[in-house]
Chains A and B, each alone.
Chain A
Amino acid sequence: MWVPELVSNEELSSKQSRTHTQGDQMQYVISAENLTKTYGDVTAVDGISFNVPAGEAFGLLGPNGAGKSTTMKMIGGVSQRTSGSLSIMGLDPESHGPEVRAHLGVVPQQDNLDEELKVRDNLLVYGRYFGLPMSYLRPKADELLEFAQLTDKAKSKVDALSGGMKRRLTIARSLINEPRILLLDEPTTGLDPQARHILWDRLFRLKEQGVTLILTTHYMDEAEQLCDRLIVVDKGRIMAEGSPASLIREYSTREVLELRFGSERNATIGAELEGIGERLETLPDRVLIYAHDGEAALEQVSARGLRPLTSLVRRSSLEDVFLRLTGRSLVD
């Protein structure tokens, strides 16, 4: 088991004050102001601003194509912004690319492990890019393999690993330089539920060690589980910002009643449900009734003589927040 290497708050803040420039970004490890990126006529990121303090798990939630990955690439110091300002640990990634990247651990959306090398060698080679000596890298690689639950795969070729294992190896690789900031771009996309839970557990442990996590996802459950605070992004703009709970409080009701009347009737039944709950959302496959008490709302529906094929009462989630803000679902 990997024993977390705890850095005290004092040590952390003294590190930051060394690396930080004077001014209002003092307490933030990442600071973006009016960040914009255009590709030709397409504006991928449209003037977004946010600050991330040390140790926070900060999420960018939004559908595919919202500009999350582009934002991550700019934070990661691999893509240059079109306008606005950006500072990572007090450094501008445009002028201090290698210095900024030396602070980061990066888990890209698509795995780019070296499939021709063995699992452990992937970690060693990656550590060399940071100029780390082999005397450090060999034991560190073993530690990280343990952390990623891949010790018995150390000598396997990468292509022999499952999707979840590759993802964990990518995370292990991103930790080889002991970064204080970890960028995760859609870390669990394409994984089965069990693999996702293992991964979340590992990310939790990093968070406990005080690593700042920057995470993009289009899974609301992931955002709810992992993020202290998040921004909801759509079409390159920030739609809302806050903790998962406060966003749900602000933009949704406590509970949601989901009703299915069959694809033909869903669209037309809306009028008959008018007045039940605080708000009504009609989707192609179901009708959502937003109410403080979902069971009570369901009773009202029955009282009007309506018989849905299925009904479900659940707590509001970030999915509902997104639906409210954009009128669309997160996952199409």
Chain B
Amino acid sequence: MTEQSAPSVQGAGGRGPAAPALLRAHSPAVSAARARRWGSFYYAEQVLRVMKGYGWTIVMYGVGQPVAYLFAMGVGLATLVDTNSGAAFGGVSYLAFIAPALLISAAVMTAANEFTFPVMDGFKWRRVYYGPHASPLTPEQIASGHIMAVSLRFLLQSAIYFVVVALFGASPSGWGWVSVLVATLAGLSFGLPLMAYAASIKEDKGQFAMVMRFIVTPLFLFSGTFFPLDSLPLVVRWIGWISPIWHGTELGRVFSYGYEEAPLLTIAHVVFLVGLAVAGWMLTKRQFVRRLGQ
């Protein structure tokens, strides 16, 4: 504390008297120019530092979930399914059939967490967005920095997931790794519209629990995850068509075991996922600018 150091001691951290002369912030003009250029990255850095606090959870979630699912479904259930199904799963093992779906679903569920509570925290609970908002960063950069950090989590988590899947021998094609990117895209496609919604919420009345229960869970179950979508009656098949999980899963299957579908359909999956992500980003940006600028 202050009593211990004489007023003339200049070097913070014992660097000797010459240190403070070097210790000068660059000019505000430089700050502003750097922030304009790199601001999103600066904010992403902050979110990643916070994530580091629960980094162990992220890794365990990344490893533990696929191991549990693949073991239960792929090994347990699959022995039953594979002997009875014939060619119902496109000629591949049940394990190979569900692996891409689980990979995509995990990213979407992570999105449902990372783009809801932390956003509420930013605007309302602990108001963490308002600190950087007073710095040279812009609301758009705060939003995009948050998204970048979460995207990195998608990539890391999906990569771990994919390694586990590959170790289970459930990704026969050499292109299987692309499903890591597909999972990240699916996470954004589901997550960004949700983020825009989260940014619009003023009062927490349990909306996020409702999203998990009435949107994420049905999408997880009816997106061609555990059985092909066309084995469902038409009444519920539409759930799959509007589901980022289904579009992502079908794409993932194309890459991980060469699932055959019309090329136009493959393009449609990509367009759907990208379109939803872009629309979500536009809405999020508008919401952030409006709410922080009040």
Contact = CB atoms under 8 A, between A and B. Distances in A.
Q: Do A and B bind each other?
A: yes
Interface of A: 1-3, 5, 39, 76, 78-80, 89, 96-99, 101-104, 106, 108, 110, 112-117, 121, 125-126, 128-132, 136, 138-140, 142-143, 146, 149, 151-152, 173, 176-179
Contacts of B264: none
B136 to A, nearest CB: 4
B13 A139 contact: yes
A129 B39 contact: yes
Nearest to B135: A129
Interface residues of B, number: 51
Nearest to A175: B25
Interface of B: 1-2, 5-10, 12-13, 15, 19-20, 23-26, 28-36, 38-39, 42-43, 45-46, 49-50, 53, 126-138, 292-294
A5 B136 contact: no
A102 B136 contact: yes
Contacts of A128: 42, 45-46
Contacts of A79: 293-294
Output the residue of B15, B26, B28 with the most chain A CB within 10 A.
B28
Contacts of A76: 134
A136 B126 contact: no
A80 B292 CA distance: 11
A1 B134 contact: no
Given A114-B46, A139-B13, 20 more contacts: A1-B7, A1-B9, A5-B24, A96-B32, A98-B138, A101-B134, A108-B130, A125-B45, A125-B46, A129-B43, A129-B132, A130-B31, A130-B135, A131-B33, A131-B34, A131-B38, A139-B23, A142-B13, A143-B12, A176-B25
A306 B136 CA distance: 62
Contact of B35 (A98, A108, A179): A98
B35 A130 contact: yes
Contact of A112 (B8, B33, B43, B128): B128
Given A139-B23, A143-B23, A149 B1 contact: yes
Contact of A103 (B28, B36, B132): B28
A113 B294 contact: no
Contact of A102 (B13, B29, B53, B129): B29
Given A129-B42, A136-B23, A142-B13, A102 B134 contact: no
The 8 A-B residue pairs whose C-beta atoms are closest, nearest first, are: A131-B34, A129-B135, A102-B28, A102-B31, A98-B136, A106-B134, A102-B32, A130-B31
B23 A99 contact: no
A225 to B, nearest CB: 21
Output the residue of A97, A131, A152 with the most chain B CB within 10 A.
A131
Contacts of A102: 28-29, 31-32, 35, 135-136
A125 B49 contact: yes
A127 to B, nearest CB: 8
Main secondary structure of the interface of A (DSSP, over half): loop
Nearest to B21: A5
Contacts of B46: 114, 125, 128-129
Contacts of A139: 12-13, 15, 19, 23
A239 to B, nearest CB: 26
Contacts of B35: 98, 102, 129-131
Given A101-B134, A108-B130, A129-B39, A178 B25 contact: yes
A4 to B, nearest CB: 10
A192 B22 CA distance: 38
B67 to A, nearest CB: 28
Output the residue of B38, B46, B137 with the most chain A CB within 10 A.
B46
A97 B28 CA distance: 12
Contacts of A103: 28
A99 B13 CA distance: 31
A132 B45 CA distance: 13
B89 to A, nearest CB: 44
B25 A132 contact: yes
Contacts of A5: 20, 24
B1 A152 contact: yes
Contacts of B25: 130, 132, 136, 140, 176-178
Nearest to A177: B25
A14 to B, nearest CB: 13
Contacts of B2: 1, 146, 149
B54 to A, nearest CB: 9
Given A115-B126, A142-B13, A78 B134 contact: yes
Nearest to B41: A128
Contact of A99 (B20, B32, B128): B32
A60 to B, nearest CB: 17
Output the residue of A98, A125, A179 with the most chain B CB within 10 A.
A98
B125 to A, nearest CB: 10
Nearest to A113: B131
Output the residue of A5, A139, A151 with the most chain B CB within 10 A.
A139
Nearest to A101: B136
17 contacts: A3-B8, A78-B133, A79-B294, A98-B138, A99-B28, A99-B32, A112-B130, A117-B53, A128-B42, A128-B46, A129-B136, A131-B30, A131-B136, A149-B1, A152-B1, A176-B25, A177-B31
